[in-house]
Structure 1
């Protein structure tokens, strides 16, 4: 079975990472799986690319920059991502796509595939699967919806736009998607039940078949290490209670919830029974230390971590991973932490409850309650059953998100779609 995956970038962001992981899992499961990307920042043998020569690369860069910066003319100075989907490339004539048995679409924004380019893929007469890593496919432009329900109808009156009206840019984008989707026969994969329910409520995609299959993770890489030794690697005393978070204050993504993390930590530090000297905060990400606020605990900044084995050891050094996301499909950091047997404290939102089971392998705090987020951390700080909670964290990933489990679910879906094809 030949599967070709389409993604804008190679490994960039959560969607790119999830795409590469699935590709690896499928190849390990016996399929012939291949990832084709719109643009590679560096030459790579991991993926193929539609932008090979100088002209194609220049056009791709133009598309990417145009999509990222033209939106500023229409959108408010907001931290919520919005896509115009004006620029793209028709890739339907690509030989690898013609030779594929299955075409699997992932994240295709930033000038890769416009709605009409997606419709062109249907002319290849192949089963098309589309994994939704965020909400953009079924909205008039936003990637994160929060409480907005305009996508239930035909968008318009978009709260993210400077000139919001019944027939604003979000409505016009919705109309273009509606026209293109009428010519696109695809099966949707939702990595979480939250995403599946969102799709069913959308006017653009609510009538489409949806299968819930989670993203996967390399459980042989993201695995538990001896906690005391992992702490020693980070030069942290073994008796310290280590908090970890992968979120930096971001100028672009307010849905990461950093302000709630800061508020929760300040709340925690003020509580009786909390020894501030026995707690250390560890933060990884790609922001400079200068961007960081003052935290109430001693803080270690790890910066960006490119080596997954080292990252797994960092997760293992933590006693709790705090994920303050306000809306997330199936965040990789949560899955990585649990796979390393580190419990997670997070808001009960998005696809996080698919992974975090309250008071079993972590703590689900009430939405947008920094106080309850602090309570979850405090629960793990005092809980005498930490070893059992850590074991359950690892077991839950092995049971439901391992490469073999997720690959088999995808292969079964692919085969069912191929069986429906005209003989």
Structure 2
């Protein structure tokens, strides 16, 4: 069995990580698995570059930039990602695709595979699996839907577009996808139950075969480690109660729920005013220094952490990880810190309930309630058996998200599709 994974980037973003991690997990199970990407930021011998050479690399880069320019023209200035499939690449005649048994598609936006480019893969006559890392495949362009239900029909009247009407750009993109999908068969992998339910509601893909298989991670890297030693390595206070969060842009951020987190922290600080000197907030990831919010505790910024071993040390240094995302498929920060035995406080939304078991390995707060988020932090702060929460966090990941478990579920799916293909 030889599998090829297709993704726009290698290791960038959740989908980039997921495709590489899944491929490695499959390799450990004896499967020939490779990854090919449309744009490679730096050389990686483990990844096939579909835009090789100076000319093709920069041609691809121009396509990505032009797509972003089109967004500025047609899309409102909102923190809601939207893709306009204006440029793409026909890869159906590439030798690497001819040589594999099954094609596994992941995230293919940013001038990679437009709907019509995806449809051309049908000529290869190979089983195709498509993992949905966000909602774009079944919407008229948006990647994050929030409360919008237009995807349940045919999009149009899009609240994200500057020019919104029944036949607007979102409806036309939806129609492009509808025509393309009629030409190609594929099986959908939904990493979370929430994503599977969303697909089932969409007019575009609700009748397609789908299966819920989560993303995986290397539990040999993301594993429990001495908290004291982790804090020593990072230069953090040894005796404080440490709250940790990742990717903290500004109070204006919408998707990651920054405003709710700040309000929750302020409420928690007011309730535990006398103990405030013993609490510290630690943040890793990018930060917008121009719009940096004020926090009620001493706050340490660790910057962007690209090395996975060091990221695991960060998770191990914390008493609790805070994930206030308002909509997320299966966020890796939550999965990674649970694998390290660090409990999570998060909103009950998206795929997060697949990972966080309420009051067993963390706390699921009422969606968009900063008060309940504060209650969750307080519950963690006061919990008499933190070691039990830590053990539960690790055990849940090993049972449902480990490389062996996830790889085997994919192998079962691949075998089923290949057997059906042969007998067809």
Fold agreement, TM-score > 0.5: yes
Report how far residue 39 of structure 1 moved: 0.5
RMSD: 1.3
Question: What SS does the corresponding residue of 1:281 show, helix, strand or coil?
Answer: strand
8 Å contact kept, 1:345–1:363: yes
Rounded Cα–Cα distance in structure 2 between residues aligned with 1:318 and 1:131: 31
Q: 1:373 to 1:16 in 2, by over 3 A?
A: same
Rounded Cα–Cα distance in structure 1 between residues aligned with 2:151 and 2:129: 22
**1:327-349: CA deviation from partner (whole Å, max 9, x where unpaired):** 00000000001000000000000
**1:300-339: CA deviation from partner (whole Å, max 9, x where unpaired):** 1000112111111110010000000000000000000100
Q: Residue 332 of structure 1 aligns with which residue?
A: 332
Report how far residue 250 of structure 1 moved: 5.4
Rounded Cα–Cα distance in structure 1 between residues aligned with 2:321 and 2:135: 25
Question: What SS does the corresponding residue of 1:414 show, helix, strand or coil?
Answer: helix
Rounded Cα–Cα distance in structure 2 between residues aligned with 1:206 and 1:250: 36
Report how far residue 143 of structure 1 moved: 0.2
Question: What SS does the corresponding residue of 2:422 show, helix, strand or coil?
Answer: coil
**1:79-101: CA deviation from partner (whole Å, max 9, x where unpaired):** 10001111100000011111111
Report how far residue 238 of structure 1 moved: 2.4
Report how far residue 273 of structure 1 moved: 6.6
8 Å contact kept, 1:67–1:85: yes
8 Å contact kept, 2:92–2:121: yes
Structure 1 residue 129 corresponds to structure 2 residue 129: yes
Structure 1 residue 320 corresponds to structure 2 residue 320: yes
Q: Residue 228 of structure 1 aligns with which residue?
A: 228
Rounded Cα–Cα distance in structure 1 between residues aligned with 2:272 and 2:223: 34
**1:74-129: CA deviation from partner (whole Å, max 9, x where unpaired):** 11111100011111000000111111111000000000000000000011000000
Report how far residue 252 of structure 1 moved: 9.6
Q: Residue 396 of structure 2 aligns with which residue?
A: 396
**Count of aligned residue pairs for this structure pair:** 423
Rounded Cα–Cα distance in structure 2 between residues aligned with 1:123 and 1:258: 46
8 Å contact kept, 1:245–1:322: yes
- Using the size of structure 1 for normalisation, the TM-score is 0.98
Report how far residue 291 of structure 1 moved: 4.4
Q: Residue 156 of structure 1 aligns with which residue?
A: 156
Q: 1:10 to 1:144 in 2, by over 3 A?
A: same
Q: How does 1:17-416 map to 2 (within 5 A)?
A: 17-249=17-249, 254-272=254-272, 275-287=275-287, 289=289, 291-416=291-416
**1:214-257: CA deviation from partner (whole Å, max 9, x where unpaired):** 00010000011111221222222322000000021159962111
Question: What SS does the corresponding residue of 1:148 show, helix, strand or coil?
Answer: coil
Unaligned 5+ runs, structure 1: none
| Of 129-138 and 74-83, the range deviating more from structure 2 | 74-83
8 Å contact kept, 1:81–1:253: no
Rounded Cα–Cα distance in structure 2 between residues aligned with 1:154 and 1:285: 37
Report how far residue 56 of structure 1 moved: 1.3
Rounded Cα–Cα distance in structure 1 between residues aligned with 2:225 and 2:291: 31
Rounded Cα–Cα distance in structure 1 between residues aligned with 2:217 and 2:252: 26
Rounded Cα–Cα distance in structure 1 between residues aligned with 2:66 and 2:261: 34
8 Å contact kept, 1:289–1:301: no
Report how far residue 274 of structure 1 moved: 5.7
Rounded Cα–Cα distance in structure 1 between residues aligned with 2:148 and 2:297: 36
8 Å contact kept, 2:250–2:293: no
Rounded Cα–Cα distance in structure 2 between residues aligned with 1:275 and 1:15: 40
Report how far residue 272 of structure 1 moved: 4.3
Q: Which runs of 4+ in 1 moved over 6 A?
A: none
Rounded Cα–Cα distance in structure 2 between residues aligned with 1:254 and 1:72: 18
Question: What SS does the corresponding residue of 1:256 show, helix, strand or coil?
Answer: coil
Unaligned 5+ runs, structure 2: none
8 Å contact kept, 2:251–2:258: no
Rounded Cα–Cα distance in structure 1 between residues aligned with 2:185 and 2:250: 37
Question: What SS does the corresponding residue of 2:208 show, helix, strand or coil?
Answer: coil
Rounded Cα–Cα distance in structure 1 between residues aligned with 2:48 and 2:128: 19
8 Å contact kept, 2:127–2:418: yes
Rounded Cα–Cα distance in structure 1 between residues aligned with 2:419 and 2:193: 26
Q: 1:250 to 1:210 in 2, by over 3 A?
A: farther
Rounded Cα–Cα distance in structure 2 between residues aligned with 1:251 and 1:28: 43
| Of 195-204 and 291-300, the range deviating more from structure 2 | 291-300
8 Å contact kept, 2:252–2:259: no
8 Å contact kept, 1:80–1:253: no
**1:271-295: CA deviation from partner (whole Å, max 9, x where unpaired):** 1476110100000002255542211
Report how far residue 66 of structure 1 moved: 1.1
